[in-house]
């Protein structure tokens, strides 16, 4: 009898926590967190090994300000997904992605391992100066909740390429609970 009473009490407590974790009247809201113009400096590559680090940059997320703008807090986040990663070669002038076979984007943050977030493979060898990577659909909430994360661009080139400056535009979709 004590076991049944304990199980009923435990179920009552669990259901109370689940149903009261959001305030009555809260609604789910989706909004974008867009980080534009992130400068990535890539050293010259004489031809590389697979998964050579082309660039690495610490990025400030600005997540708390974006949440505040939308009436939410870090505790209200339900999910953060990557929407897009776009890479553009800004220098040297006329440089293209030709010669680069693939590029893979990863992120890591304090206390969290490196995770693949986007890729482009193969890269069309058609004189492109901007590419959009395909997103890996993973929940990145714990990474983006941090005040900053490290963005790592790895790839492979089959020929020598000069040192380049790229800009990255990264967009995330944030789902959070907000008051009506």
- Residue of 151, 143, 156, 145 lying closest to 169 (CA atoms): 151
Is residue 102 in a domain? yes
Is residue 55 in a domain? yes
Is residue 52 in a domain? yes
pLDDT band at residue 25 under the 50/70/90 scheme: low
Is residue 117 in a domain? yes
Is residue 17 in a domain? no
Number of other residues whose CB lies within 10 A of the CB of residue 40: 20
Q: How many domains does the chain have?
A: 1
Q: In a 3-state reduction of DSSP, which class is residue 43? A: coil
Cβ contacts of 8 within 8 Å, gap of 6 or more: none
Alpha carbon distance 160, 140 (integer Å) = 34
More confident residue, 18 or 160: 160
Is residue 8 in a domain? no
pLDDT per residue as tens digits for the range 151-171: 999 999 989 999 999 999 999
pLDDT per residue as tens digits for the range 56-78: 999 999 999 999 999 999 999 99
Q: In a 3-state reduction of DSSP, which class is residue 136? A: coil
Residue numbers of the domain that contains 50: 25-179
Per the prediction, the chain carries an average pLDDT of 88
Is residue 112 in a domain? yes
Is residue 108 in a domain? yes
Q: In a 3-state reduction of DSSP, which class is residue 10? A: helix
Is residue 107 over pLDDT 50?
yes
CATH label of the domain that carries residue 128:
2.60.120
Whole-model pTM over 0.75: yes
- Residue of 60, 39, 58 lying closest to 164 (CA atoms): 39
């Amino acid at each position: 009898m004590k076991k049944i009473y304990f199980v009923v009490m435990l179920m009552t407590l669990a259901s109370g926590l689940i149903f009261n974790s959001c305030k009555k009247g809260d609604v789910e809201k989706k909004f974008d967190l867009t980080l534009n113009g992130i400068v990535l400096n890539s050293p010259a590559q004489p031809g590389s090994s697979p998964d050579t680090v082309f660039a690495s940059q610490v990025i400030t997320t600005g997540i708390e300000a974006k949440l505040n703008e939308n009436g939410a807090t870090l505790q209200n986040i339900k999910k953060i997904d990557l929407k897009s990663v776009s890479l553009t070669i800004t220098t040297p002038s006329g440089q293209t992605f030709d010669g680069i076979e693939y590029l893979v984007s990863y992120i890591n943050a304090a206390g969290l391992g490196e995770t693949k977030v986007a890729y482009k493979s193969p890269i069309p060898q058609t004189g492109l100066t901007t590419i959009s990577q395909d997103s890996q659909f993973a929940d990145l909430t714990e990474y983006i909740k941090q005040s900053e994360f490290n963005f790592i661009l790895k790839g492979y080139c089959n020929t020598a390429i000069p040192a380049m400056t790229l800009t990255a535009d990264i967009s995330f979709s944030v789902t959070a609970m907000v008051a009506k």
